[in-house]
Structure 1
Amino acid sequence: MSPLLLGLSGQVVLKMIWFAYNRARCLIEWLWRITRGFFLCCFTRVFTPIARYVLSAIGWREEHGSRNEPEVNDENKPQTTGSQDDRVEEPVGQWEAGRLTAGFDRKAEEREEEDAEEEEDEFDQEEYQVDPSDELYCGYDSTWETGEDQSSTHRRGRRPGASRHYKFSRFENASRDMQNYRHDYPSQIRRQPWNQNMSSDDKPNLGFYLGNNPSLPDGLYIHNFHNDWKGEYNTLECVHTFIQWLFPLQEPGMNHEASTLTKEEIKEFLKSSTAKENLLKSYELMLDFYGIELCDKETGEVKRASNWRQRFSNLNNHTHNNLRITRILKCLGTLGYPHYQAPLVHFFLEETLVHGELPNVKESVLNFFVFSVLDKKQRRKLIKFAYLNYDAKDEFVWCPRKIQILWSEPHRGVHGRKDGFEHYPDQKQYQI
């Protein structure tokens, strides 16, 4: 065979190989796009129980190193000043429109108002001032700081007694993250855009919520999620790239193609009725996924949905959803719905502590959900409700020991009930 024919044959073979490679690559990419959710779901179901067992065996907190929440470390450790912790103080009567319901007679209403006045003043009394030497004092939690000690700079001081409580250690780790959030990320360093071609003036999260740009890498617009994903429980469970777009935060998640929320985006988001309405739809989408229904858009009151048993089972068996709910609560507080936080947290407290549901969610409720509530008064009420309904009170580590002793006194209860929210007329009762 002549050299010319050999050369031509070689070129033809090379082109055929190149063509076959390109076709195979396209086929592989297409197959990966349509099956990655399935593989991720299988991987999660196989390895999550193993990882949970190993992490619990070494005493590591379940939320550490998650896909959806950042690892808390010394780089983002906040300075605990407490001065900004009341940045969302609901005015008296915030919940007034929803508190009067049929069936209340005037005498019962007057009694509730009297109890409420006493309760409103309770947490401001001198006996609620906590000394840092308290066995269960957490230096990263400013929930019990008062006007007199708001300038405290105490951060971490492990008491000998607290070292015996592994639950306290986990709570202390969680408190750093939640305090950083509630204080609006005082030590946060603004990150550069993940895409170097993206200008610093771009607002990807706001644009997504206004329907102007799709999420990445899924390529879906906000209306696609709201119209096509509701009730698609397998998709919502197995796909892990959407949660950072639906509920953006000023802290990074594991989807590196999603951007952290900026101060400029927050300001414009709060002024946009379209963005806020879409956020409400996203919230309802995820509530439905968890078997919960929003029954009052004014107050944020929630209740069990009709399919709650099946959805609770899924939630209890897939604990990465605890991280998602923490993200949702933080986002609600940042983007215009802080009054929605307490009703959802109270719902989970009642489900876990009163009704005995969702045992694998209970510690996340106490470590993270409660302390995401920006309103300090509501947060204190939630903690009191948790303590009054917690069975093993000697193992309760989420507030100082001094306060637990106060709540254990017989006269602290109301009408013999363990309902920490019955006292407050500004807080509508949450249906279960």
Structure 2
Amino acid sequence: MVMLLYRHFKQLFFRMFWWVRSRSFLEGMRQAFSGSWFYIVKVCLGLVVPLLAIRHWVKGPNSRNEPREAKTSVSSEEVDIFTDDEDTGEPTAPVPEPAQNNPCALTEDHAWRDGPDDFHCDYDSTWETDSDHSQDQIQEESEGSVQGGQREWTGHTFKQVSNWQSYKFERFQAAARDLQNYRHNYPNKPFRGWEYQDRETDKYPNLDFYLGNRPSLPDDVYISDYHTTWKGKYDTLESVHTYIQWLFPLQEPGVNPEASTLTEDEIKEFCKNDTARKHLLESYKLMLDFYGMELCDEKTGAVKRAWNWKNRFSNLNRYSHNNLRITRILKCLGTLGYAHYQAPLVYFFLEETLVNGELPRVKDSVLNYFLFTVLDKKERRSLLEFAYLNFNKNEEFVWCPLKIQKKLEKQSIKT
């Protein structure tokens, strides 16, 4: 039967080829599909497709995930939410059946029992004490995440409750790996091979730019011009993508090969220079205005909506590449002496996304990236608590372990 269909389709192909060449394509189509053999094909398809659908329905849509779930289960002794140690042991305990309720609801039906702890991220140290982790362990984990990158992207050593939950957690874990490297001052040094500058002759290019001694490249704009002539030019700030690496330099490269990454010596010199830090503050105000915000307290870093926030929020929600820019800004603030500005900005975004219902296309970046750039661990815990208590209870909260969620829920009930 298969060979018969193959011969008929092969014959049809050559007929269509010659009919197209003879410019009688429509007539050829009519003749080709008028044969009795074509009706046989349609009858066969009409029988096979329903049979496959019935087989899929009887077997169940989740049957294909069973081998993967069995491989990724771990015992309760191998999971500890207060450490970032990567699990390398073989699974020793069966995975209990997942609860049907939302884990955010925290009812007695949920699996609060001795077993694998969902949402334990190997790269998030928010809930550990300072003595739980050493710099050597951090570097080992970071190196292991690079060497075992395929494992991190295709699976993880925790109990899977649903495909969507797994996807959300994998996205968070991939972001956490990058942000752990940032928070611990890059034990895995990023590759800088594509920079154009010669470090021997251009020792502090970012500091020189902020002191007004050199322009940015390739735009050829000085720092004072950014703060004056570029302010309020929203179309330019949106469409040009090579200035953000100069205004907010990091120890990791960006998409502009003509911008230089920071070195540890340059960071020290930058933080000691009052002029450079003052200009960095002006750059921060420039971008806040672009996003529809304004700095209302330079001492605490508190921000609020600007007068034109609706228009600017619409732009921020439309162009998602601004989420990458904001992550860079937050990292730069923590690197160059404005770490106390991180938490107020993240809190503003959490309030706008989770409480006020604005910026829906920014919400995932706030939870996956913005929040975990905050260097102060106490502030980070406070922000996570605020995020959990204001998160939609119909969705699963994957950004802290379930044991922590239970503790936060109990505290909120008491208060």
TM-score of the superposed pair, with normalisation by structure 2? 0.66
Tell me by how many angstroms 1:150 deviates.
Answer: 2.2
Offset from partner CA, 1:96-120 (integer Å, 9 cap, x none): xxxxxxxxxxxxxxxxxxxxxxxxx
Gapped regions of structure 1 (runs ≥ 5) = 1-78, 83-130, 416-432
Q: What is aligned with 1:146? A: 129
Alignment RMSD? 2.3
Give yes or no for contact 1:236–1:289 (8 Å, CA) kept in 2. Answer: yes
Give yes or no for contact 2:190–2:252 (8 Å, CA) kept in 1. Answer: no
Whether 2:137 is the aligned partner of 1:136: answer: no
Distance 1:266 1:400 in 2: 35
Q: What is aligned with 1:160? A: 159
Whether 2:362 is the aligned partner of 1:361: answer: yes
Give yes or no for contact 2:192–2:252 (8 Å, CA) kept in 1. Answer: no
Whether 2:210 is the aligned partner of 1:227: answer: no
Distance 1:339 1:392, change over 3 A: same
Tell me by how many angstroms 1:332 deviates.
Answer: 0.2
Whether 2:384 is the aligned partner of 1:383: answer: yes
Q: What is aligned with 1:268? A: 269
Distance 2:191 2:320 in 1: 30
Distance 2:191 2:131 in 1: 33
Distance 2:241 2:345 in 1: 22
The one-letter amino acid of 1:176's match is R
Identify which of structures 1 and 2 has the higher relative contact order when contacts are C-alpha pairs closer than 8 Å and 6+ apart: 1
Give yes or no for contact 1:293–1:303 (8 Å, CA) kept in 2. Answer: yes
Tell me by how many angstroms 1:413 deviates.
Answer: 4.7
The percent of aligned pairs where both chains have the same amino acid is: 62
Offset from partner CA, 1:321-365 (integer Å, 9 cap, x none): 000000000000000000000000000000000000000000000
Give yes or no for contact 2:85–2:122 (8 Å, CA) kept in 1. Answer: no
Give yes or no for contact 1:293–1:305 (8 Å, CA) kept in 2. Answer: yes
Tell me by how many angstroms 1:194 deviates.
Answer: 2.4
Tell me which structure has the larger Cα radius of gyration.
2
The one-letter amino acid of 1:343's match is P
Q: What is aligned with 1:404? A: 405
Distance 1:266 1:282 in 2: 17
Give yes or no for contact 2:84–2:125 (8 Å, CA) kept in 1. Answer: yes
Distance 2:115 2:297 in 1: 40
Tell me by how many angstroms 1:397 deviates.
Answer: 0.2
Tell me by how many angstroms 1:202 deviates.
Answer: 1.7
Tell me by how many angstroms 1:149 deviates.
Answer: 2.8
Distance 2:279 2:260 in 1: 18
Distance 1:375 1:81 in 2: 21
1:352 is paired with a residue whose SS is helix
Gapped regions of structure 2 (runs ≥ 5) = 1-82, 87-113, 146-151
Distance 1:306 1:413, change over 3 A: farther
Tell me by how many angstroms 1:406 deviates.
Answer: 1.3
TM-score of the superposed pair, with normalisation by structure 1? 0.63
Offset from partner CA, 1:203-254 (integer Å, 9 cap, x none): 1111000110000000000001001010000000000000000000000000
Give yes or no for contact 1:162–1:168 (8 Å, CA) kept in 2. Answer: no
Whether 2:170 is the aligned partner of 1:187: answer: no
Distance 1:262 1:305 in 2: 35
1:312 is paired with a residue whose SS is helix
Count of aligned residue pairs for this structure pair: 288
